[in-house]
Amino acid sequence: MKKKYYCSLHFTMDLIGNKWKPLVLFHLLNGPLRSGVLQKTIPGISNKMFTQTVRELERDNLVSRKVYPVVPPKVEYQLTETGKSLEAILKELDNWGKNLMS
Amino acid sequence: MKKKYYCSLHFTMDLIGNKWKPLVLFHLLNGPLRSGVLQKTIPGISNKMFTQTVRELERDNLVSRKVYPVVPPKVEYQLTETGKSLEAILKELDNWGKNLMS
DNA sequence: ATACTATATTACTTTTTGGTAAGTTATTGC
DNA sequence: GCAATAACTTACCAAAAAGTAATATAGTAT
């Protein structure tokens, strides 16, 4: 570990504490998605931010990236086991928002 | 609501989807804290970011702010009912990080 | 040979975030 | 009357994040 964390929540926030990562992970809960499909499930995310977000999630071993050697390219993203371990939390966050919005 | 959300998780992330807010909320789980004490529980947060974070949490009704009319000033922050409803999630996020770090 | 496809990457600019340091307040204690 | 106190607030600047638009790739279909 490069950085020192004063508590484990701090570590968690460094991994998924931004706006887009939980959304990307959430949309992968039902199984792998092609890059383009995943991106379209998240209106408002720019091309650049999408790529950057999945790159970081891949680096942190929360999603895996599978490239099919075809043309035009086909790339699929799916949750790793670590990513899947966030399932309950992601659904609770979604539900919490649902209750609060209504 | 000003913004349109395409899913409730998006709404959640707009409320608490940054690095500091979950940390502030987490440290208030055990009860109200004075401003200075709360700030010191979060090493690395600057004065400005701290103030800004609690202001936004207050605006969004996740924490309440109680000012005691004394000199020097005394200000306490505590979770609102809405803030408390995040307790389980915050603890799970902390635990998730704990497992992953070790 | 040109256009089309999906998935990026890059350069450039704008916007947002964050840090530092100084100032504010109003009373008490010296 | 001056310093000390807690909790800000502000101005200024630097750094980081994010948006836009152009470009790359390499087969296949026209």
Give the span between the Cα atoms of B1 and A51, in whole angstroms.
Answer: 29
Successive 10-residue mean pLDDT values, chain A, 102 residues:
75 89 97 97 94 96 96 96 98 96 88
Interface contact A19-B5, CB threshold 8 A: no
> Which string of DSSP letters, residue by residue, matches A59-90?
HTTSEEEEEE--SS-EEEEEE-HHHHTTHHHH
CA distance B99 to A99: 29
- Average pLDDT of the residues of chain B: 92
Closest CB to B8: pick one of A7, A43, A97.
A97
Q: Amino acid letter at B83?
A: G
Tell me yes or no: is domain A8-101 CATH 1.10.10.10: yes
pLDDT of residue B65 exceeding 90, the answer is yes
Give the integer Cα–Cα distance in Å for B95 and B98: 5
- The percentage of residues in chain B with a pLDDT greater than 70, rounded to a whole number, is 96
Task: Provide, as residue numbers in chain A, all residues whose Cβ is less than 8 Å from the Cβ of B11.
Answer: 97, 100-101
Residue B17 banded pLDDT, cuts 50, 70, 90: confident
More confident site: B14 or B82: B82
Q: Determine the angle formed by the axes of helices B87-101 and A87-101, rounding to 10 degrees.
A: 160
Whole-structure pTM value: 0.92
State residue A3's pLDDT score. Answer: 56
User: Each residue of B39-62: pLDDT tens digit?
Assistant: 999 988 999 999 999 999 999 999
Q: What distance in Å separates the CA atoms of residue A93 and residue A22, rounded to the nearest whole number?
A: 9
Is strand C less than 7 A from the beta carbon of A15? no
Q: How far is the CA of B5 from the C1' of D24 (A)?
A: 34
Predicted confidence at residue B71, as pLDDT, reads 87
Q: Average pLDDT in the B83-99 region?
A: 97
For residue A1, the model assigns a pLDDT of 44
State yes or no: pLDDT of B2 exceeds 90.
Answer: no
